[in-house]
Amino acid sequence: MEDPDAPLVERARRGDRWAFEQLVERHQNRLFTLAARTLGSADEAADAVQEAFIRAWLGLPRFRGGSLFSTWLYRIGVNAAHDQRLKRRAEPLDEVREPADPQDSFHVSELSSALQNALNQLDEDYRVAVVLYDVLGCSYTEIAELTEVAEGTVKSRIFRGRSRLAELLGTRTAEE
């Protein structure tokens, strides 16, 4: 598969900061979404994203293009988020994008909040799998590569993660 990031990656590997800044611009929101949805905290997620980009910048010489740059970057992001979790301090997700339509604001924020609470209760493996697949649209192959498991395991984790999420959302709805 041809990597759309390849030209910028090649320049960044040679120390071209401008090229890397374009890669940051291109991937920062997806990486932030991944970190925020898996950590449940905007501040921790932003810290993880910053750490991930620094690791990527310094580690570019070791990136040989065997996978998509985005796959490699998300793997660094997952690891950075995991490291953040280890030094966790409980904070709610407090920074979400404003919806395009202000009339939907209330519903969207409620949905996001309920979903985030449910995501926070999922096992980390399931949470990462469903966010990568259902939120970011990564392929099984990409997820398998960046989480270092077989594609069948990825499918299983997505299936179980979705089911558990629905249970948690249903429970929450019932409680409310």
Question: Footprint of other proteins on this chain (CB under 8 A)?
Answer: 15, 17, 20-21, 24-25, 28-33, 36-37, 42, 45-46, 49-50, 53-54, 57-58, 60-61, 95-97, 99, 108, 111-112, 115, 118, 130-131, 134-135, 152, 155-156, 158-167, 169-170
Euclidean distance between CA atoms 142 and 176, whole angstroms: 38
Shortest CB 56 distance to other proteins, Å: 10
DSSP class of 6: H
Shortest CB 54 distance to other proteins, Å: 7
Sign of CA dihedral 74, 21, 83, 88: negative
Contact (Cβ atoms closer than 8 angstroms) between residue 13 and residue 65: no
Contact (Cβ atoms closer than 8 angstroms) between residue 170 and residue 159: no
At residue 165, what is the residue type?
L
Shortest CB 118 distance to other proteins, Å: 8
Q: Which is nearer to other proteins, 30 or 75 (CB)?
A: 30
Shortest CB 8 distance to other proteins, Å: 15
